[in-house]
Structure 1
Amino acid sequence: MPGRMLTESEGYRLLDSCGIPVPPHHLSASAADARAAADRIGYPVVMKVISPEIIHKSDVGGVITGIRGPDEAEEAYRTIMANSAARAPGAAITGIIVEKEMPPGLEVLVGGKTDPAFGKIITFGLGGKLVELLEDVAIRVLPVDDDEIRSMIREIEGYRLIRGYRGEAPKDEKALVRIIAKMARLFAESPDIREFDLNPVILYEEGASVVDARIIVGDTVGAGSARLSIRAPPDLFYPKSIAVIGASATPTKVGYSVLRNLLSFPGDLYPVNPGRSELFGRKAYPSVLEIPGPVDWAVVAVPAHLVPGVMEECGKKGVRLAIIVTAGFRETGEDGAALEEAVVAIARRHGIRVVGPNCLGVMMPHMGINATFDPVSPRPGDVAFISQSGAIITTVVDWSLPAEFGFSSVISVGNQADLGFEHYLRFAEQDEMTRSITLYVEEIQDGRGFMQIVGDVARNKPVVAVKSGSSQKGRAAASSHTGSLAGSYDVYVAAFRQAGVIPVRSLRDAFNLAELLASEGYPQGKRAIAVTSAGGFAVLASDYAEAYGVDMVDLPDDVLRELNEFLPPIWNHANPMDIIGDADAARFAALFDVLIRHQDFWDIAFVIAVPTTLVDPAHVANEIVRFSRNTEKMVVGCMLGGDSMRSGLRILRGCRIPNFEELEDAFKAVGSVLSVPKARGAGQRRPPRDDRCPGGEG
């Protein structure tokens, strides 16, 4: 049914029934009744028009405040009725609500809405006009507990006003938690409440009161339907045989690129093309049914209208996974959506799992698999990349080669007609080659199910996400690209953080962070130290640490005494540690030895080295490797400069220690991790040491 906004008296009645404090009030139908109500309630009072057709009461002269006597009450009633009749002719007036005018206090907002991806969410921020001016709002996906509510309250910039600002007494945070908790429970348990806005809630030193309630009821459209009961088997992504259906000898066709890319696959590779007997020196088959051996994967690259017939044949053959790179399905409209549903029905009937359709495909570099039409293949590495855009994948893979960045897997999800982000996350979680996971997200179909699964995965392996569609134009582009509506960007980011996923704005930041976490795991805390031989970078390190929420700790007295024994007298005796421009690898090594012995006072170490004629970058890099291997803390390499530092960078890369070529990027990456408390508290720590730096340190 269409949405209806409760009248203020209805809203107050609902809130009061749940134990949420509201002002004393009475709905009056005459001037005399309003006068009597005001006398009972006690002056001053506020009077407001009540009409389902008048949303913005002040715009029609339907609100009068500061009423301080019986005669004023009667006059206010008549004035509001006259204003409403003149400015909203034809509007049905239910009555005039008379309510206690609450004393001034801190105005905050508690709101809720139904998000298309994540279902019901709750918001909190400063109230009144400030919420629109400052946009200082925290968001959570329901349900939430009291600890999550306290975290939400304390993360807004305006929390300083609640805590007590410039000599003002603190406000009643416990009362605020109670109101939010009760409203969150009411919202979550009431399917007919679609949206609400309590603005303002006035917060006092003791207690609080809601003084305006906007509650919309009606049929609620929940989050996307779940596919999660159908779990993909763990070995689904480790094929021994692959068929390319639609394989071609024509270089401009997708089937040509896919087959060419798979020539390095060490298992059995079968081209399928009814018009060819041989392709790339491999025997070709007219149908997957003619292949003599078993087929684990089928990469489908035939026109869309032929895909249902191909899927029937794959089902009869016993194919386990179909990667449908063909476009022309849900993303094209109703006819394409119907075709996609038919394909999925065939797959379900035969027990085939489907990647796509309308996807780039799948890459498994450690297995020599490039089942895509991307012209290049990435290096093997530690990071799983799961993307909703094929073009993003081809760009990232092209960038990764000169950057010497490797992947454990690269998966293009396409339309997610069957397998979706949730399944790929579960795969990456159990994949031994994967140490961290990066997502490029345009739209999640089942937000709540996604949060549950990604939260489980993030407790074991770090997950970093880039969400597109932060602007209105971006959201429109996402819709046309994927054939589905994207939810609110802010809700996605809040949901990611709530689940322990680390959101970042750019792909560059995502892969910087994913590489750091693949190497170092989550930090155990936010206490940081920095070591450099360049005073200017020591100052910048302090600036960046403050900007990105990294806590530069004081050096303990016993550590200072040990450092003073070998550092030059003019070193700065502080953190960040400037160990002077003539520092060589031996000086770095001696300092690292002190930090290894005293690991109890720090969690993160930034090692900043710059070009100098006095030091060999390779020697410094070897000492950074030794430092990293002898501590369970996060070590962040920052070897800054150009070609003169290449020998050191190669050593760090070979030993899986990430290096940041821009100092600010290093602090931004660490700050991103620290901003997600659930990630910092996760069970996954640093990767095992026995597989780091293969072949030694040199």
Structure 2
Amino acid sequence: MPERMLSETEGYDLLDKRGIPVPPHRLVTSAEDAAEAAESIGRPVVMKVISPQIVHKSDVGGVITGIETTENAKAAFRDIMEKSTSRAPGAEITGVVVEKQMPPGLEVLIGGKTDPSFGKIITFGLGGKLVELLHDVSIRVLPISRDDAREMIREIEGYRLIQGYRGETARDEEALVDIIDSMSRIFTDSPGMHEFDLNPVILYEKGARVVDARIIMNEAALPTSGRAIAEVPEEIFFPQSIAVIGASSNPKKVGYAVFRNLLGYPGQLYPINPNRTELFGRDVYPSLDAVSGPVDCAIIAVPARYVPATMEECGKKGVRLAVIVTAGFREASEDGRKLEEEIVRIADTYGIRIVGPNCLGIMLPHQGINATFDPVSPKPGHIAFISQSGAIITTIVDWSLTEELGFSAVFSVGNQADLGFEQYLKFAENHPVTHAITLYIEEIKNGRSFMKIMKEVAGKKPVIVIKSGSSQKGKQAASSHTGSLAGSHDVYMAAFRQAGVIPASDLREAFQLAELLASEGYPKGKRAIAITSAGGFGVLASDYAEKYGLSMVDLPDEVRDKLNSFLPKCWNHANPMDLLGDTGVDRFAAVFDIMIRHQDFWDIAFVIAVPTMLTNPTHLANEIVRFSRHTNKMVVGCVLGGDSMRSGLRILRSCNIPNFSELEDAFKAVGSIFDARGENPDGGHVYPPSEGQCTWREPAARQQTR
């Protein structure tokens, strides 16, 4: 069925049947009928032309308001018909709707559309011109609950107008919840409804009315579900043997870089190349068939035209995982798309799972696997990174070495011909050394499946996401990069928040959040304390806490009395706690001890230290680690300064305690967790294992929570 917009009367009738309030109305086809309708409905009335070809009625003179008399109703009908016919020649005019002119109130909008990635979504915001001017809207992926509808209303800036701004009487919020809830059900239950726009909905002190309804039907545009998401056995990412097909001695070739990176792999490694007999001191095999033992994983680095035959060879050998780093498939051309479909068909025939094609590869540092052509390998850590861009992976891995940041897994998803974000997320969820997950996303093919998996994983481990393509040019770049269209950025953000995923604005912020949550878990609430040896930074801490939605709590009398017992008399006696410039590590440690014993009044502790002659950074770092591990709260390191503090920073890193070199970044990071996950984001505190140079011993109770 081609796209069709319901007439205003059809739209009103559909809403009225589902209990959504609309104005009294009638469709008329003559001036006399218009006069009679106005009389029976009750003046004043509004009259509007009805035509499937006329979308913007006012532009053709098709709307007249404030009609008070019978004669005015007749004249208005004739005027609308004359102007609409002359200004929209060829338009099929089925009549004029006469409807009760509703008194003024607060205008809001409720809209819906079918997103190519996530399916049906619903929006809410201020109506009329304000929505375009302020873009003050909330979005949800359907279905939603009645509570979700209420949250949508309350999260827009304009909610203050609904509450009653500057002494105005509050509007009927529950009536608005009723309409959003009902409309979300109508949209969800109507497969052929493709889009709708109720604008304006007039909200009163009591009740509400929809006074304009634009509803588009288009069953042909229903989104497809895409290829079925199949479960992946986790053991395929723990191969005992790897073959590099296309291994090369030419440093300019991808097969050279991949094989060189795998020389440290502790399992069986087989270079495959029919034109060589030796490579890096290892025997080279002319084909997979020539390898006598089993091959669990194949890294394919041959030209695209040879990949189907290579996949056949892998299938006959019993390979379970093929990592296709070769480009030249769907992202390149129509012929490439057909090649990609062929390799998927072969993989399905033999039960092979595919990473890529057109990807950088995979890294599993704890297993000694760097099956990529990245020139460097990351250190082992507790963050999984799943990216749609290989170039971003190489940049982040290179940056991570100087930052001493480690990874548990790195996946370059490429074209996602088979394995996609969903499977890598499930692997990271169950991977014992992964404590936080970071995603770089350009587009998602099956948004609903992805959202379901994201929600499951984010309920167990923190997931942080960077979504590119917010600008029009960014969307075009993403499309050419991945061979598919990037979805609406606002819809992605809404889906992430519904799934409990934390959006980040840039890569640096994403990995700061990942480090923090991998170490400290979700904070239980917004009550913050700050402990500092520099008063100026204490003032800034208060400013940043307010800016990012955290609450600097008052110190309980009992806690203040204990601090008074050993701190200098001139300390500030408040939170943030300024321990003064002559503070040494012992003073920090004593304050930490009190905060450990009194954990009931705070949720997040910011430890702010600056270089001084009296502060040994190594000892201070060990005390911060002890403080973190002896609480069930979030401890945020803010050890500021440069080279003089580096020894302490290394200890924090080795013990997986993140440190923020900029104070505002620390508060912004914690605030963004609450922005994404709400007032009570806790889903079970994460206690990752200690490693490296830590000089403290973790309590048995903490160890049992792992």
SS at match of 2:271: strand
User: Counterpart in 1 of 2:352?
Assistant: 352
Q: Which runs of 5+ in 2 are unaligned?
A: 698-706
Answer yes or no: is 1:364 the counterpart of 2:376.
Answer: no
User: Counterpart in 2 of 1:691?
Assistant: 690
User: Counterpart in 1 of 2:91?
Assistant: 91
**Following TM superposition, by how much is the alpha carbon of 1:692 offset from its aligned partner in structure 2, in angstroms?**
5.1
User: Counterpart in 2 of 1:60?
Assistant: 60
User: Counterpart in 2 of 1:109?
Assistant: 109
Alpha-carbon distance in 1 for matches of 2:691, 2:201: 55
Alpha-carbon distance in 2 for matches of 1:254, 1:224: 36
Answer yes or no: is 1:645 the counterpart of 2:667.
Answer: no
- 2:330–2:336 CA contact under 8 A, matched in 1: yes
Cα pair distance change 1:464/1:214, threshold 3 Å: same
Alpha-carbon distance in 1 for matches of 2:397, 2:80: 66
**Following TM superposition, by how much is the alpha carbon of 1:106 offset from its aligned partner in structure 2, in angstroms?**
1.2
**Following TM superposition, by how much is the alpha carbon of 1:305 offset from its aligned partner in structure 2, in angstroms?**
0.8
SS at match of 1:407: strand
The normalised TM-score by structure 2 is: 0.97
- 2:651–2:693 CA contact under 8 A, matched in 1: no
Alpha-carbon distance in 2 for matches of 1:451, 1:228: 15
Q: How does 1:1-400 map to 2 (within 5 A)?
A: 1-223=1-223, 225-400=225-400
SS at match of 2:166: coil
**Following TM superposition, by how much is the alpha carbon of 1:236 offset from its aligned partner in structure 2, in angstroms?**
1.1
Alpha-carbon distance in 1 for matches of 2:474, 2:351: 37
- 1:226–1:449 CA contact under 8 A, matched in 2: no
Alpha-carbon distance in 2 for matches of 1:220, 1:176: 31
**Following TM superposition, by how much is the alpha carbon of 1:576 offset from its aligned partner in structure 2, in angstroms?**
2.0
- 2:674–2:681 CA contact under 8 A, matched in 1: no
CA displacement, residues 539-588 of structure 1 (integer Å, 9 cap, x when unaligned): 21122222222222222232222222233333333322222222221221
User: Counterpart in 2 of 1:661?
Assistant: 661
Alpha-carbon distance in 2 for matches of 1:497, 1:220: 30
Alpha-carbon distance in 1 for matches of 2:111, 2:60: 24
State the number of aligned residues.
697
User: Counterpart in 1 of 2:703?
Assistant: none
Alpha-carbon distance in 2 for matches of 1:210, 1:141: 22
- 2:194–2:222 CA contact under 8 A, matched in 1: no
AA aligned opposite 1:575 = N
Cα pair distance change 1:229/1:440, threshold 3 Å: closer
User: Counterpart in 2 of 1:532?
Assistant: 532
AA aligned opposite 2:24 = P
Alpha-carbon distance in 1 for matches of 2:500, 2:224: 21
SS at match of 1:264: coil
Cα pair distance change 1:303/1:173, threshold 3 Å: same
**Following TM superposition, by how much is the alpha carbon of 1:228 offset from its aligned partner in structure 2, in angstroms?**
4.9
SS at match of 2:683: coil
Q: Which runs of 5+ in 1 are unaligned?
A: none
Alpha-carbon distance in 1 for matches of 2:220, 2:138: 23
Alpha-carbon distance in 1 for matches of 2:314, 2:281: 24
Answer yes or no: is 1:438 the counterpart of 2:438.
Answer: yes
Q: How does 1:491-570 map to 2 (within 5 A)?
A: 491-570=491-570
- 1:460–1:682 CA contact under 8 A, matched in 2: no
- 1:530–1:577 CA contact under 8 A, matched in 2: yes
SS at match of 1:83: helix
Cα pair distance change 1:681/1:227, threshold 3 Å: farther
Alpha-carbon distance in 1 for matches of 2:543, 2:678: 26
- 2:192–2:222 CA contact under 8 A, matched in 1: no
**Following TM superposition, by how much is the alpha carbon of 1:225 offset from its aligned partner in structure 2, in angstroms?**
2.9
- 1:466–1:504 CA contact under 8 A, matched in 2: yes
User: Counterpart in 1 of 2:704?
Assistant: none
Alpha-carbon distance in 2 for matches of 1:451, 1:106: 34
Alpha-carbon distance in 1 for matches of 2:544, 2:453: 34
RMSD of aligned residue pairs (Cα, Å) = 1.5
Cα pair distance change 1:45/1:564, threshold 3 Å: farther
Alpha-carbon distance in 1 for matches of 2:607, 2:202: 49
CA displacement, residues 85-136 of structure 1 (integer Å, 9 cap, x when unaligned): 2322222211111111111111111100000000001111111111011101
Alpha-carbon distance in 2 for matches of 1:66, 1:351: 70
AA aligned opposite 1:369 = I
AA aligned opposite 1:118 = F
- 2:6–2:217 CA contact under 8 A, matched in 1: yes
AA aligned opposite 1:387 = S
- 1:651–1:697 CA contact under 8 A, matched in 2: no
**Following TM superposition, by how much is the alpha carbon of 1:679 offset from its aligned partner in structure 2, in angstroms?**
9.5
Alpha-carbon distance in 2 for matches of 1:679, 1:542: 19
**Following TM superposition, by how much is the alpha carbon of 1:229 offset from its aligned partner in structure 2, in angstroms?**
4.3
Alpha-carbon distance in 1 for matches of 2:261, 2:63: 71
Q: Which moved more, 1:82-91 or 1:42-51?
A: 82-91
User: Counterpart in 1 of 2:473?
Assistant: 473
AA aligned opposite 2:628 = S
SS at match of 1:166: helix
Cα pair distance change 1:220/1:679, threshold 3 Å: farther
**Following TM superposition, by how much is the alpha carbon of 1:302 offset from its aligned partner in structure 2, in angstroms?**
0.5
The normalised TM-score by structure 1 is: 0.98
CA displacement, residues 238-282 of structure 1 (integer Å, 9 cap, x when unaligned): 111000000011111110110000000011000000111111111
Cα pair distance change 1:349/1:498, threshold 3 Å: same
User: Counterpart in 1 of 2:404?
Assistant: 404
Alpha-carbon distance in 1 for matches of 2:17, 2:533: 66
**Following TM superposition, by how much is the alpha carbon of 1:668 offset from its aligned partner in structure 2, in angstroms?**
1.2
- 1:640–1:661 CA contact under 8 A, matched in 2: yes
User: Counterpart in 1 of 2:701?
Assistant: none
AA aligned opposite 2:695 = G
Q: How does 1:619-630 map to 2 (within 5 A)?
A: 619-630=619-630
